[in-house]
Amino acid sequence: MKIDAVNDRVGINTASPATAFEVSGQASFSDGTAALPSITNTGDLNTGLYFPAADTVAVATSGTERLRVTSAGLVGIGTTPGKLFQVYRNNTDQDAQVQVEQAGSGSPVLGFLKTGVAAWLTGLYNSDNSYRIAASGTDLNTSTRLTIDTDGNVTVGTTSSPTTLVSTTTIFGAALSAAGHGIFVRDSNEPVTVNRLTNDGTLLSLRQAGVAEGTISVSGTTVSYNGGHLSRWAQLPDNSRPELLKGTVMSNLDQMSNWDNEENEQLNCVQISTVEGDANVAGLFVAWDSTEDDYNDILLAMTGDMVIRIAAGVTVARGDLLMSSGDGTAKPQADDIIRAKTIAKVTSNHVSHTYPDGSYAVPCVVMAC
Q: Which residues pair with 197 in a beta bridge?
A: none
pTM over 0.85: no
How many residues in the chain? 369
Residue 24: closest CA among 34, 33, 36, 16: 16
List of residues 6+ apart from 276 with CB closer than 8 A: 323, 324, 325, 326
Pairing of strands 360-366, 353-354: antiparallel
What percent of the residues of the chain are helix, what percent strand, and what percent coil, each to the nearest 5? 5, 40, 60
What span, in angstroms and rounded, lies between the C-alpha atoms of 26 and 51? Answer: 9
- DSSP 3-state of 164: helix
- Rg, C-alpha atoms of the chain: 38
Question: What's the pLDDT at 108?
Answer: 43
Question: What's the pLDDT at 42?
Answer: 53
Q: How many CB atoms lie within 10 A of CB 243?
A: 5
Q: Where are the beta strands (DSSP E) in 47-140?
A: 48-50, 57-61, 64-69, 75-77, 85-87, 98-100, 111-114, 123-127, 130-134
What is the CA angle 231-288-265, rounded to 5?
A: 50
CB contact at 8 A, 126 and 113? no
Q: Domains (ranges, CATH) in the chain?
A: 98-148 (no CATH), 156-185 (no CATH), 229-366 (2.40.300.10)
Element (DSSP H or E) covering residue 9? strand 9-12
For residue 333, the one-letter residue type is Q
What span, in angstroms and rounded, lies between the C-alpha atoms of 137 and 134? Answer: 7
What span, in angstroms and rounded, lies between the C-alpha atoms of 203 and 15? Answer: 83
- DSSP 3-state of 330: strand
Q: How many CB atoms lie within 10 A of CB 252?
A: 19
Mean pLDDT by 10 residues, the chain (369 residues): 76 79 60 50 70 89 91 92 83 56 52 49 69 70 82 90 88 92 92 94 94 93 91 95 97 95 93 97 93 88 96 97 97 96 96 96 89
